[in-house]
Amino acid sequence: MYAMFAMLLLNFSLLLALISLLSILQTYMQLSHQNWDWWWRSFFTGGASVLYCGLYSLYYMWNFMDLDFYGSDLVYLLYMYMFLLSWFLMTGTVSVLASYVFVTNIYRDIKSD
């Protein structure tokens, strides 16, 4: 039973590492093309995984769930919306923080006189 929590922690750590690395790569590519507005693009880069999860939840609802009452569909969609919104905010925040640390590290030693 405790192995499940270890696997969840491992997957969560890999998710955070992957989001951070993708955000840093995207921010570097954006800065190398002299586009300094990296904040929102970084946030949406991290939150883009919500699209896949949202589409898969709709696919799962239509094909595998046997919901006879429209209220059940509404409850499922409401809970998925709340979950996906919190997922989007979490991954977007991780992405912006990783990009911010990257940008402050690369511009820390530049002296403007």
How would DSSP label each residue in 48-88? Answer: THHHHHHHHHHHHHHHT----SHHHHHHHHHHHHHHHHHHH
Does some domain include residue 86?
Answer: yes
What is the domain range of residue 64?
A: 19-24+38-106
- Note the pLDDT of residue 65: 85
Which tokens hold the place of 46? Answer: 């991290």
At 20-36, the pLDDT tens digits run: 999 999 999 999 999 88
Does some domain include residue 75?
Answer: yes
At 33-80, the pLDDT tens digits run: 998 889 999 999 999 989 999 999 999 988 888 778 888 889 999 999
Does some domain include residue 62?
Answer: yes
Residue 70, SS3 per DSSP: helix
Does some domain include residue 8?
Answer: no
Does some domain include residue 55?
Answer: yes
Cβ contact 23:41 at 8 Å? no
Which tokens hold the place of 61? Answer: 């609802």
Residue whose C-alpha is closest to residue 89's, from 38, 43, 41: 43
- When pLDDT is cut at 50, 70 and 90, the band that residue 112 belongs to is low
Does some domain include residue 31?
Answer: no
Does some domain include residue 100?
Answer: yes
CA atoms within 13 A on the CB side of 37: 3
How many structural domains does the chain have?
Answer: 1
Does some domain include residue 1?
Answer: no
